[in-house]
Amino acid sequence: MKRSLVFLLAMHAAAWSDVKQIEFGTTKDGKTVHQFILTNGHGLEARVMSYGATWTHLVYPDQVDVLLGFDDLAGYLRGHPYFGSTAGRVANRIARGQFELDGKKYQLATNNGPNHLHGGEEGLDKVVWLAEKLDNGVRFRYRDADGHNGYPGNVDMQVSYTLNEDNELRIDYEARTDQATPINLTNHAYFNLAGGGTILGQELWLNAPSYTPVDDTLIPTGQIAPVRGTAFDFTSAHAIGRDIQKAGGYDHNFVVEGKGMRPVARVRDPKSGRELEISSDQPGVQFYTGNFLDGKLSGKKSAAYPKNGAFCLETQHFPDSIHQPGFPDTVLRPGQQYQTTTVHKFRWKQP
Protein backbone atom coordinates (compact mmCIF):
# COMPACT_ATOMS: atom_id res chain seq x y z
CA MET A 1 0.00 0.00 0.00
CA LYS A 2 2.81 2.39 0.95
CA ARG A 3 4.68 1.53 -2.23
CA SER A 4 1.58 2.29 -4.32
CA LEU A 5 1.11 5.63 -2.57
CA VAL A 6 4.73 6.60 -3.13
CA PHE A 7 4.41 5.64 -6.81
CA LEU A 8 1.24 7.74 -7.22
CA LEU A 9 2.83 10.75 -5.53
CA ALA A 10 5.89 10.44 -7.75
CA MET A 11 3.72 10.25 -10.86
CA HIS A 12 1.72 13.26 -9.65
CA ALA A 13 4.89 15.32 -9.11
CA ALA A 14 6.25 14.31 -12.52
CA ALA A 15 3.00 15.35 -14.18
CA TRP A 16 2.85 18.87 -12.79
CA SER A 17 6.51 19.52 -13.48
CA ASP A 18 6.30 18.47 -17.13
CA VAL A 19 7.83 21.14 -19.37
CA LYS A 20 8.76 20.36 -22.97
CA GLN A 21 10.77 22.57 -25.30
CA ILE A 22 10.40 22.56 -29.08
CA GLU A 23 11.58 24.75 -31.94
CA PHE A 24 8.72 26.95 -33.13
CA GLY A 25 10.40 28.73 -36.05
CA THR A 26 13.00 31.29 -37.05
CA THR A 27 12.72 35.08 -37.21
CA LYS A 28 13.61 37.07 -40.33
CA ASP A 29 17.01 37.85 -38.84
CA GLY A 30 17.75 34.17 -38.21
CA LYS A 31 16.96 33.85 -34.49
CA THR A 32 15.49 30.53 -33.37
CA VAL A 33 12.25 30.79 -31.42
CA HIS A 34 11.36 28.08 -28.91
CA GLN A 35 7.96 27.11 -27.61
CA PHE A 36 7.50 25.61 -24.15
CA ILE A 37 4.65 23.20 -23.36
CA LEU A 38 3.53 23.21 -19.73
CA THR A 39 1.13 20.50 -18.54
CA ASN A 40 -0.26 19.44 -15.18
CA GLY A 41 -1.77 16.25 -13.81
CA HIS A 42 -5.33 17.34 -14.64
CA GLY A 43 -4.68 17.59 -18.37
CA LEU A 44 -4.46 21.39 -18.53
CA GLU A 45 -1.88 22.62 -21.05
CA ALA A 46 -0.33 26.05 -21.53
CA ARG A 47 2.16 26.98 -24.24
CA VAL A 48 4.44 30.00 -24.30
CA MET A 49 7.18 31.05 -26.70
CA SER A 50 10.34 33.13 -26.60
CA TYR A 51 9.20 35.54 -29.33
CA GLY A 52 7.51 38.31 -27.40
CA ALA A 53 7.45 36.14 -24.23
CA THR A 54 4.07 35.21 -25.71
CA TRP A 55 1.35 32.98 -24.27
CA THR A 56 0.19 31.03 -27.33
CA HIS A 57 -2.16 28.29 -26.09
CA LEU A 58 -4.36 27.38 -23.13
CA VAL A 59 -5.91 23.97 -23.75
CA TYR A 60 -8.52 22.56 -21.37
CA PRO A 61 -8.61 18.80 -20.69
CA ASP A 62 -11.40 18.45 -23.30
CA GLN A 63 -8.85 19.69 -25.89
CA VAL A 64 -10.54 23.07 -26.42
CA ASP A 65 -8.00 25.88 -26.80
CA VAL A 66 -9.41 29.14 -25.41
CA LEU A 67 -6.65 31.52 -26.61
CA LEU A 68 -6.64 33.30 -29.96
CA GLY A 69 -3.39 33.05 -31.88
CA PHE A 70 -1.64 31.16 -34.66
CA ASP A 71 -0.43 27.62 -35.35
CA ASP A 72 3.09 28.72 -36.27
CA LEU A 73 5.57 31.54 -35.81
CA ALA A 74 4.89 32.92 -39.31
CA GLY A 75 1.44 34.10 -38.20
CA TYR A 76 2.91 36.12 -35.36
CA LEU A 77 5.65 37.57 -37.58
CA ARG A 78 3.08 38.82 -40.13
CA GLY A 79 1.61 41.14 -37.51
CA HIS A 80 -1.32 40.75 -35.13
CA PRO A 81 -3.20 42.62 -32.39
CA TYR A 82 -0.87 41.47 -29.56
CA PHE A 83 -2.28 37.93 -29.24
CA GLY A 84 -0.88 36.65 -25.93
CA SER A 85 2.04 39.08 -26.04
CA THR A 86 4.00 40.58 -23.19
CA ALA A 87 3.21 44.26 -23.74
CA GLY A 88 5.58 47.08 -22.76
CA ARG A 89 7.96 48.79 -21.85
CA VAL A 90 4.74 50.70 -21.10
CA ALA A 91 1.61 48.71 -21.87
CA ASN A 92 -1.51 50.55 -22.98
CA ARG A 93 -1.49 54.18 -24.15
CA ILE A 94 0.61 57.29 -23.59
CA ALA A 95 -1.01 60.47 -24.92
CA ARG A 96 0.73 61.90 -27.99
CA GLY A 97 3.69 59.59 -27.33
CA GLN A 98 5.26 62.28 -25.18
CA PHE A 99 6.22 62.62 -21.56
CA GLU A 100 8.53 64.64 -19.34
CA LEU A 101 10.57 63.01 -16.59
CA ASP A 102 12.98 64.74 -14.22
CA GLY A 103 12.97 67.83 -16.42
CA LYS A 104 13.72 66.02 -19.69
CA LYS A 105 11.23 65.55 -22.53
CA TYR A 106 10.90 62.27 -24.41
CA GLN A 107 9.18 61.50 -27.73
CA LEU A 108 7.97 57.97 -28.40
CA ALA A 109 6.40 56.46 -31.51
CA THR A 110 2.75 57.31 -32.13
CA ASN A 111 1.56 53.92 -33.33
CA ASN A 112 -2.11 54.15 -32.29
CA GLY A 113 -3.63 57.22 -33.89
CA PRO A 114 -2.07 60.22 -32.14
CA ASN A 115 -0.92 58.08 -29.21
CA HIS A 116 1.76 55.58 -28.19
CA LEU A 117 0.58 52.00 -27.57
CA HIS A 118 2.19 48.93 -25.93
CA GLY A 119 5.81 50.06 -26.20
CA GLY A 120 5.84 51.31 -29.78
CA GLU A 121 6.77 49.94 -33.19
CA GLU A 122 9.15 47.34 -31.72
CA GLY A 123 7.80 46.71 -28.27
CA LEU A 124 8.55 43.69 -26.10
CA ASP A 125 6.10 41.67 -28.19
CA LYS A 126 8.43 41.79 -31.22
CA VAL A 127 11.76 40.69 -29.74
CA VAL A 128 13.21 37.28 -28.92
CA TRP A 129 13.71 36.74 -25.19
CA LEU A 130 16.29 34.44 -23.60
CA ALA A 131 14.58 31.42 -22.05
CA GLU A 132 15.32 29.23 -19.04
CA LYS A 133 13.27 26.15 -18.17
CA LEU A 134 11.94 25.89 -14.63
CA ASP A 135 10.58 22.81 -12.86
CA ASN A 136 7.00 23.77 -13.70
CA GLY A 137 7.42 26.59 -16.19
CA VAL A 138 9.80 28.91 -18.01
CA ARG A 139 11.53 32.21 -17.29
CA PHE A 140 12.14 34.73 -20.11
CA ARG A 141 14.78 37.47 -19.87
CA TYR A 142 15.38 40.57 -21.99
CA ARG A 143 17.39 43.78 -21.73
CA ASP A 144 15.53 46.74 -23.23
CA ALA A 145 18.32 49.11 -24.20
CA ASP A 146 18.54 52.79 -23.35
CA GLY A 147 16.85 54.78 -26.14
CA HIS A 148 15.02 51.78 -27.64
CA ASN A 149 11.61 53.00 -28.79
CA GLY A 150 12.51 56.36 -27.24
CA TYR A 151 12.56 55.24 -23.60
CA PRO A 152 15.37 56.18 -21.20
CA GLY A 153 17.51 53.64 -19.34
CA ASN A 154 18.72 50.08 -19.76
CA VAL A 155 15.99 47.91 -18.25
CA ASP A 156 16.60 44.26 -17.37
CA MET A 157 13.30 42.40 -17.37
CA GLN A 158 12.12 38.90 -16.73
CA VAL A 159 8.73 37.26 -17.19
CA SER A 160 8.07 33.83 -15.67
CA TYR A 161 5.17 31.52 -16.49
CA THR A 162 4.43 28.60 -14.14
CA LEU A 163 1.57 26.09 -14.11
CA ASN A 164 0.55 24.29 -10.91
CA GLU A 165 -1.76 21.48 -9.80
CA ASP A 166 -4.45 23.97 -8.79
CA ASN A 167 -4.92 24.73 -12.49
CA GLU A 168 -3.32 28.15 -12.09
CA LEU A 169 -1.06 29.78 -14.65
CA ARG A 170 1.00 32.34 -12.77
CA ILE A 171 2.85 35.19 -14.49
CA ASP A 172 5.58 36.99 -12.54
CA TYR A 173 7.15 40.18 -13.88
CA GLU A 174 10.39 41.74 -12.62
CA ALA A 175 12.50 44.66 -13.83
CA ARG A 176 15.42 46.88 -12.81
CA THR A 177 16.73 50.03 -14.50
CA ASP A 178 19.84 52.24 -14.50
CA GLN A 179 17.81 55.41 -15.25
CA ALA A 180 14.39 56.62 -14.24
CA THR A 181 11.82 55.32 -16.71
CA PRO A 182 8.10 54.57 -16.87
CA ILE A 183 7.24 50.87 -16.92
CA ASN A 184 3.97 48.96 -17.05
CA LEU A 185 4.05 45.30 -18.10
CA THR A 186 1.09 43.07 -18.84
CA ASN A 187 0.00 40.06 -20.85
CA HIS A 188 -2.39 40.64 -23.74
CA ALA A 189 -4.06 37.21 -24.00
CA TYR A 190 -7.30 37.06 -26.01
CA PHE A 191 -9.70 34.57 -24.38
CA ASN A 192 -12.81 32.89 -25.68
CA LEU A 193 -13.99 30.28 -23.18
CA ALA A 194 -16.34 28.77 -25.76
CA GLY A 195 -13.43 28.10 -28.12
CA GLY A 196 -15.15 29.96 -31.00
CA GLY A 197 -17.91 32.38 -31.97
CA THR A 198 -18.32 35.57 -29.95
CA ILE A 199 -17.91 36.18 -26.22
CA LEU A 200 -21.10 38.24 -25.86
CA GLY A 201 -22.93 35.52 -23.91
CA GLN A 202 -20.06 34.82 -21.53
CA GLU A 203 -20.60 36.20 -18.04
CA LEU A 204 -18.16 38.63 -16.41
CA TRP A 205 -17.68 39.82 -12.84
CA LEU A 206 -15.17 42.59 -12.09
CA ASN A 207 -13.91 43.60 -8.66
CA ALA A 208 -14.12 47.20 -9.82
CA PRO A 209 -16.53 49.79 -8.40
CA SER A 210 -15.00 52.49 -10.60
CA TYR A 211 -13.28 53.02 -13.94
CA THR A 212 -11.31 55.69 -15.81
CA PRO A 213 -13.41 57.36 -18.55
CA VAL A 214 -11.60 58.10 -21.83
CA ASP A 215 -11.62 60.64 -24.64
CA ASP A 216 -12.27 59.78 -28.27
CA THR A 217 -8.69 58.49 -28.68
CA LEU A 218 -9.06 56.19 -25.63
CA ILE A 219 -6.84 58.30 -23.38
CA PRO A 220 -8.14 58.62 -19.79
CA THR A 221 -9.52 62.04 -18.89
CA GLY A 222 -8.04 61.79 -15.40
CA GLN A 223 -11.40 61.22 -13.79
CA ILE A 224 -12.12 58.13 -11.69
CA ALA A 225 -15.85 57.51 -12.05
CA PRO A 226 -18.22 55.08 -10.29
CA VAL A 227 -19.59 52.29 -12.47
CA ARG A 228 -22.90 52.03 -10.65
CA GLY A 229 -25.85 52.66 -12.93
CA THR A 230 -23.69 52.63 -16.10
CA ALA A 231 -22.86 50.15 -18.86
CA PHE A 232 -19.52 49.63 -17.07
CA ASP A 233 -20.98 48.01 -13.97
CA PHE A 234 -19.81 44.39 -13.72
CA THR A 235 -19.87 44.27 -9.92
CA SER A 236 -22.63 41.69 -10.38
CA ALA A 237 -21.86 39.05 -12.98
CA HIS A 238 -23.77 39.31 -16.25
CA ALA A 239 -23.36 38.66 -19.97
CA ILE A 240 -20.64 40.74 -21.60
CA GLY A 241 -22.99 41.63 -24.45
CA ARG A 242 -25.81 42.96 -22.27
CA ASP A 243 -24.73 46.61 -22.32
CA ILE A 244 -21.92 46.53 -24.87
CA GLN A 245 -23.75 48.76 -27.35
CA LYS A 246 -24.38 51.38 -24.67
CA ALA A 247 -20.66 51.34 -23.85
CA GLY A 248 -19.67 51.55 -27.51
CA GLY A 249 -17.59 48.41 -27.01
CA TYR A 250 -15.27 47.92 -24.06
CA ASP A 251 -11.68 49.08 -24.15
CA HIS A 252 -11.45 50.67 -20.72
CA ASN A 253 -9.37 50.56 -17.57
CA PHE A 254 -11.21 49.47 -14.44
CA VAL A 255 -10.00 50.39 -10.96
CA VAL A 256 -9.60 47.21 -8.93
CA GLU A 257 -10.81 47.40 -5.33
CA GLY A 258 -8.34 46.59 -2.56
CA LYS A 259 -4.58 46.25 -2.48
CA GLY A 260 -2.15 43.36 -2.67
CA MET A 261 -3.00 40.05 -4.27
CA ARG A 262 -6.81 39.82 -4.63
CA PRO A 263 -9.45 38.68 -7.13
CA VAL A 264 -9.76 40.93 -10.18
CA ALA A 265 -12.20 39.20 -12.52
CA ARG A 266 -14.20 36.03 -13.13
CA VAL A 267 -15.60 34.91 -16.47
CA ARG A 268 -17.86 31.94 -17.12
CA ASP A 269 -19.11 30.41 -20.34
CA PRO A 270 -22.57 29.11 -19.34
CA LYS A 271 -22.79 26.60 -22.21
CA SER A 272 -19.52 24.76 -21.63
CA GLY A 273 -19.09 25.47 -17.93
CA ARG A 274 -15.53 26.68 -18.45
CA GLU A 275 -14.46 29.41 -16.05
CA LEU A 276 -11.52 31.77 -15.66
CA GLU A 277 -10.64 33.64 -12.47
CA ILE A 278 -7.89 36.26 -12.44
CA SER A 279 -6.09 37.55 -9.35
CA SER A 280 -3.41 40.24 -9.29
CA ASP A 281 -1.63 42.84 -7.19
CA GLN A 282 -2.04 45.49 -9.90
CA PRO A 283 -4.31 48.55 -9.35
CA GLY A 284 -6.16 48.28 -12.68
CA VAL A 285 -7.36 45.93 -15.39
CA GLN A 286 -8.03 46.81 -19.03
CA PHE A 287 -11.17 45.09 -20.25
CA TYR A 288 -11.23 44.82 -24.05
CA THR A 289 -13.81 43.00 -26.16
CA GLY A 290 -12.06 42.52 -29.50
CA ASN A 291 -13.76 45.56 -31.03
CA PHE A 292 -11.19 45.77 -33.84
CA LEU A 293 -11.33 42.11 -34.87
CA ASP A 294 -13.19 41.86 -38.17
CA GLY A 295 -13.06 38.24 -39.32
CA LYS A 296 -10.28 38.92 -41.84
CA LEU A 297 -7.43 37.60 -39.70
CA SER A 298 -6.88 33.86 -40.13
CA GLY A 299 -5.81 32.25 -36.87
CA LYS A 300 -5.40 28.74 -35.51
CA LYS A 301 -6.72 26.02 -37.81
CA SER A 302 -7.59 28.81 -40.29
CA ALA A 303 -10.27 30.16 -37.95
CA ALA A 304 -11.60 33.63 -38.75
CA TYR A 305 -11.75 35.74 -35.61
CA PRO A 306 -14.92 37.90 -35.65
CA LYS A 307 -15.64 41.17 -33.93
CA ASN A 308 -16.14 40.45 -30.22
CA GLY A 309 -14.54 37.05 -30.80
CA ALA A 310 -12.49 37.36 -27.60
CA PHE A 311 -12.03 39.34 -24.42
CA CYS A 312 -8.83 40.62 -22.82
CA LEU A 313 -8.33 41.31 -19.13
CA GLU A 314 -4.95 43.03 -18.91
CA THR A 315 -3.83 43.60 -15.32
CA GLN A 316 -1.91 46.86 -15.23
CA HIS A 317 -1.29 50.34 -13.91
CA PHE A 318 -3.69 52.87 -15.42
CA PRO A 319 -3.17 54.09 -19.01
CA ASP A 320 -1.33 57.40 -19.45
CA SER A 321 -0.33 57.44 -15.77
CA ILE A 322 2.80 59.42 -16.66
CA HIS A 323 0.51 62.43 -17.31
CA GLN A 324 -1.91 61.88 -14.44
CA PRO A 325 -0.66 62.76 -10.93
CA GLY A 326 -3.85 61.29 -9.46
CA PHE A 327 -3.10 57.83 -10.90
CA PRO A 328 -0.72 55.26 -9.35
CA ASP A 329 2.90 56.03 -10.27
CA THR A 330 4.54 54.04 -13.09
CA VAL A 331 8.09 55.45 -12.80
CA LEU A 332 10.84 52.97 -11.90
CA ARG A 333 14.12 54.39 -10.59
CA PRO A 334 17.62 52.96 -10.11
CA GLY A 335 17.82 50.86 -6.96
CA GLN A 336 14.13 49.97 -7.11
CA GLN A 337 12.70 46.66 -8.30
CA TYR A 338 9.54 46.40 -10.36
CA GLN A 339 7.73 43.24 -9.29
CA THR A 340 4.17 42.16 -9.95
CA THR A 341 2.16 38.93 -10.26
CA THR A 342 -1.01 37.86 -12.04
CA VAL A 343 -2.62 34.42 -11.64
CA HIS A 344 -5.11 32.85 -14.07
CA LYS A 345 -7.12 30.02 -12.51
CA PHE A 346 -9.09 27.71 -14.82
CA ARG A 347 -12.14 25.64 -13.89
CA TRP A 348 -14.40 23.30 -15.81
CA LYS A 349 -17.22 20.83 -15.38
CA GLN A 350 -15.98 17.43 -14.29
CA PRO A 351 -17.02 14.62 -16.68
Catalytic residue set: 188, 314
Q: How far apart are CA 76 and CA 78, in angstroms?
A: 5
Peptide bond into 89 cis (omega under 30): yes
Q: How far apart are CA 345 and CA 108, in angstroms?
A: 36
Strand ranges, E, within 242-298: 251-255, 262-268, 275-280, 284-288
Q: How far apart are CA 117 and CA 97, in angstroms?
A: 8
Structure-derived torsion over alpha carbons of residues 124, 36, 315, 127, reported in degrees to the nearest 10: 0
What stretch of H or E contains 4?
Answer: helix 2-16
**Sequential DSSP letters for 84-96:** TPEE-SB-SEEGG
